[in-house]
Structure formats: structure tokens, C-alpha cells
């Protein structure tokens, strides 16, 4: 499966038909995921928002036309192609045609199979993008009772998904698929691990698998002992509504939170800065109100219960969001050790190997004292960071802080004890 294509979307917000939300989300994520999730794409190659919008408009125009369409027809549905007025005049300019050719080439590089009918350069050539080639089929799991574990498709209009095929997995097939994805993530190559997770996340939209093997999710074993993860807890609609109300009115929120790392429930009072969707989960970005620092922490919304918005002085804001805070930057794709509500520590790691995996792993950190092999990381979950360092087989050694060094060596000792 191509990890940069497929059908995946977060839950449909209230008020948006499911098929409309999926179409819009897929058009965006197929383009943006290679930039936000791939270690191989340097920041300098990220497209401008104008180009991204142009790509989305072109994809939408191709999907909306069941029959192959000429360039002139497609151009009338892409506002950027009409900017110089040549399309409206019936004589598209050479610059618009070159822009169209570049867009096709770049989208094809992302795995979007735009088909040309006719010879290259033929003015009568037509173009198409079949929904079955662009989206994954509807996926389901055959259960012992005969029922299918999947989200059922709603009735859709001609722009929906009714033409897509369906594919049903047997439990042992799904277990093998989840196991293969997990093994790929454990091989020690960070770039491969990212691509494997991306592929599993798209499958997780319809299938009961957990692409991140999140702690705290109920699991079961199949006959071979492999793990199939039952549907993960979803974010409460009431909690999301409360957080949305608090954000609009800038009111503090109190809630019970089940900590990912400690496994305990604690009461939190926070100042919400925003809500974002990442790695298959909704997160709340917020500052804890009872602290003096400016650290913005991430709280997984599915772990929040009994959210209570401050009712005192309902017409007055309780806090201000700093002008320097940008939710888009804060909510960008992150590593497992960067998530969670714990305090952030600064870690220095010495990457002493020259394998591809080690070099790619080092690139995730910031240079330290202009020394190429020393990298600094911001870590919230030390346990996840230690496991990641161990995957390099001795080619990534933590130097600071002392508690990280101790945790690293304790994990090595515990691992060795299993084989004594």
C-alpha cells in the first residue's frame, strides 16, 4: 500500500455530512501528509498555501467529473488557472498550461494517478481521476458472529463513495496485517516506522486496529497470539463541546484526566489554547492555570472526563492566548515522546553510528554546540524516548539529563535480564 494515498479522516464535525467531510479531508491529507509525516521531505520543498489550494481544487475538479475532461474544462473549475483571464477568453495562456503540467507531475509524484487520454501535447487530450484509484475501498472485519466490524457507509449523492468497492478481512488476516505493521515500526529505521504508521492509520479509519499501539486500549489475542486492538475510545462529544465553548469565551476548564504515562487520574485546571487532530486522536493544547510557567501541554481529549467550564464572570475572559502562539505550528506532526501532559525535559543524545537509521534519527533533534553527532530533544515521555533510543542498538547514547541516562541503563538491564 502507498502510505501517502488512501482514505482516512478524523470524525466528522457536527453539521458536516460524512461524505462531504471525507472528500474535503482526503483532498487535503493526501497532499499534506508527505510533508507533515515524512522524514525524507526537507522543509524547503514544502509547497506554499497557494499551490496547495490549487492542487486541492484540481483534485476536486477531477473527482467531480465522471468522464475524462479536457484541460479547458478543468481550468474553469480551478480559480488559480483563471487568474490571468486567458481561460475565460477561450485561449489558455502558455503559463497556465505549464502550471497545469507541473501540478499533474507533482501530484503524480505523491501517488495520485491522474490518467491522460490522448498523446502528450495533444490539444484534445482529456484527463480523469477515478475514485476507486484515489480512495481505499470500504474495509470491514468479519467477526465470529457473522457481523462486520466497520463504520457503515451512509447514502450518498453522486459526489460520494457509493461506487467504491468493499473488502472484508478475516480476524487472522487483520492480525497478520497489524503484526506486520508493528514489526516494520520496530526495525529501527525511523523513516520506515513513520511510513508504516501512516499506512496503518488510514486502515484504522474503518478497521479496529490501533496504529500507535496506545496504552490503555482494550486488546484481545487471536488464535496465534497476535494482538487485535478493539476500537479505541473516541473523544466525548460533550467534552469537545465544552472545550469549544471555553475556547470561544476564553474560560478556564476543570476536568479529570487519565495520565498516559502514570496511569492515574488527576484533576486539572487549564487555560485552553486550541484543539487539534493528530495521529488518529483529538488533543487539547492548554496551559495549566495553577502554574507560573508558560508551558503549553497536550491533553488527549479521549482521556478527559467531567469537563467543567468556569461559570463565574461568564461575560469576562479568564485569560489571553499569547499572540506568539500558533496552533498550526504547535499541532504539527510529533514523535511519541513529545506528546502527553508531562513536564518537558531537554535531552542530549550522542549519535555515534553512521547507518541510515541512525543518521535519520539524529535529524529529528536540534544540533548541540555545533557538534554534528550531538543532538538535543524536547521530551515529555521519557519511557517512549528511552525505547526509541534502544532501537538504534547502541548507536544512540543519552548524555543528559541524569534521570534519562539512568532510565536508559535500567531499561538495558531489564532487557538483558529476560535472556539470562
Q: What is the DSSP string of 77-113?
A: T-GGGGTTSTTTTT---HHHHHHHHHHHHHHHHTT--
Instruction: Round to whole Å and give the CA distance between 308 and 195.
Output: 38
Counting residues of the chain whose pLDDT is more than 90, the rounded percentage is 18
**pLDDT, tens only, 23-53:** 333 443 333 333 333 323 333 334 556 888 8
| 123 and 143 co-located in one domain | no
| 201 and 254 co-located in one domain | no
Beta-carbon neighbour count of residue 88 at 10 Å? 11
Instruction: Round to whole Å and give the CA distance between 206 and 197.
Output: 15
Q: Which domain holds residue 350?
A: 345-417
What is the 8-class DSSP label of residue 284? E
Q: Is there a domain that residue 25 lies in?
A: no
Alpha-carbon dihedral sign for residues 192, 193, 198, 199: positive
Q: Is there a domain that residue 109 lies in?
A: yes
Q: Is there a domain that residue 360 lies in?
A: yes
| 305 and 379 co-located in one domain | no
Report the pLDDT value the prediction gives residue 237, as an integer from 0 to 100. 82
| 242 and 325 co-located in one domain | yes
| First-residue to last-residue Cα distance in the chain | 40
Give the pLDDT means over successive 10-residue stretches in the chain (420 positions): 35 37 39 31 48 89 87 90 88 89 88 84 83 78 61 48 72 84 74 80 77 44 44 71 92 87 80 84 86 82 91 88 88 71 83 83 85 88 88 90 93 84
Q: Is there a domain that residue 397 lies in?
A: yes
Q: Is there a domain that residue 26 lies in?
A: no
Asked which of 98, 117, 134 is the last residue of a domain, the reply is 134
| 301 and 371 co-located in one domain | no
Q: Is there a domain that residue 252 lies in?
A: yes
Residue/partner pairs of 341-344 with CB below 8 Å, 24 or more apart: 341/257, 341/259, 341/260, 341/268, 341/297, 341/298, 341/299, 341/380, 342/259, 342/261, 342/297, 342/380, 342/381, 343/295, 343/380, 344/295, 344/378, 344/379, 344/380
Asked which of 134, 168, 185 is the last residue of a domain, the reply is 134
| 118 and 165 co-located in one domain | no
Tally of domains within the chain:
4
| 318 and 364 co-located in one domain | no
Q: Report pTM.
A: 0.40
190: phi then psi, degrees, rounded to nearest 5: -60, -40
Q: Is there a domain that residue 192 lies in?
A: yes
| 189 and 275 co-located in one domain | no
Report the pLDDT value the prediction gives residue 195, as an integer from 0 to 100. 81
Asked which of 201, 229, 257 is the last residue of a domain, the reply is 229
Cell of 181: 505493521
Q: Is there a domain that residue 18 lies in?
A: no
Amino acid at each position: 500500500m502507498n502510505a501517502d494515498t488512501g482514505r482516512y479522516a478524523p470524525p466528522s464535525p457536527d453539521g458536516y455530512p460524512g461524505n462531504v467531510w471525507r472528500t474535503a479531508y482526503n483532498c487535503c491529507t493526501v497532499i499534506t501528509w508527505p510533508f507533515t509525516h515524512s522524514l525524507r521531505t526537507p522543509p524547503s520543498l514544502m509547497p506554499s498555501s497557494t499551490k496547495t489550494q490549487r492542487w486541492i481544487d484540481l483534485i476536486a475538479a477531477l473527482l467531480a467529473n465522471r468522464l475524462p475532461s479536457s484541460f479547458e474544462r478543468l481550468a474553469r473549475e480551478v480559480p488559480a488557472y483563471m487568474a490571468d483571464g486567458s481561460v475565460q477568453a477561450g485561449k489558455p495562456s502558455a503559463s497556465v498550461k505549464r502550471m497545469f503540467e507541473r501540478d499533474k507531475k507533482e501530484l503524480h509524484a505523491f501517488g495520485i494517478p491522474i490518467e491522460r487520454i490522448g498523446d502528450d501535447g495533444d490539444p484534445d487530450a482529456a484527463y480523469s481521476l477515478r475514485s476507486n484509484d484515489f480512495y481505499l475501498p470500504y474495509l470491514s472485519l468479519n467477526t465470529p458472529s457473522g457481523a462486520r466490524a466497520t463504520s457503515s457507509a451512509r447514502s450518498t449523492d453522486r459526489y460520494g463513495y457509493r461506487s467504491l468497492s468493499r473488502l472484508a478481512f478475516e480476524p487472522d488476516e487483520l492480525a497478520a496485517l497489524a503484526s506486520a505493521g508493528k514489526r516494520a515500526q520496530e526495525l529501527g529505521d525511523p523513516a520506515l516506522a513513520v511510513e508504516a504508521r501512516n499506512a496503518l492509520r488510514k486502515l484504522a479509519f474503518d478497521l479496529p486496529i490501533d496504529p500507535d499501539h496506545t496504552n490503555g486500549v482494550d486488546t484481545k489475542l487471536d488464535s496465534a497470539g497476535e494482538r487485535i486492538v478493539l476500537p479505541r475510545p473516541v473523544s466525548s462529544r460533550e467534552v469537545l463541546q465544552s472545550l469549544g465553548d471555553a475556547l470561544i469565551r476564553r474560560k478556564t476548564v476543570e476536568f479529570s484526566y487519565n495520565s498516559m504515562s502514570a496511569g492515574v487520574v488527576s484533576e486539572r485546571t487549564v487555560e485552553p489554547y486550541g484543539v487539534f487532530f493528530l495521529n488518529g486522536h483529538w488533543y487539547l493544547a492548554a496551559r495549566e492555570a495553577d502554574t507560573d510557567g508558560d508551558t503549553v501541554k497536550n491533553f488527549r481529549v479521549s482521556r478527559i472526563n467531567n469537563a467543567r467550564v468556569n461559570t463565574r464572570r461568564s461575560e469576562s475572559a479568564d485569560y489571553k492566548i499569547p499572540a506568539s502562539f500558533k496552533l498550526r505550528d504547535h499541532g504539527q506532526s510529533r514523535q511519541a515522546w513529545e506528546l502527553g501532559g508531562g513536564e518537558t525535559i531537554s535531552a542530549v543524545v550522542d549519535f555515534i553510528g553512521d547507518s541510515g537509521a541512525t543518521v535519520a534519527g539524529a535529524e529529528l533533534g536540534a544540533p548541540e554546540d555545533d557538534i554534528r553527532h550531538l543532538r538535543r530533544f524536547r521530551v515529555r515521555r521519557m519511557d517512549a524516548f528511552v525505547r526509541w533510543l534502544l532501537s538504534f542498538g547502541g548507536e544512540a547514547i543519552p548524555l543528559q539529563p541524569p534521570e534519562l541516562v539512568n532510565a536508559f541503563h535500567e531499561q538495558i538491564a531489564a532487557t538483558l535480564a529476560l535472556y539470562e
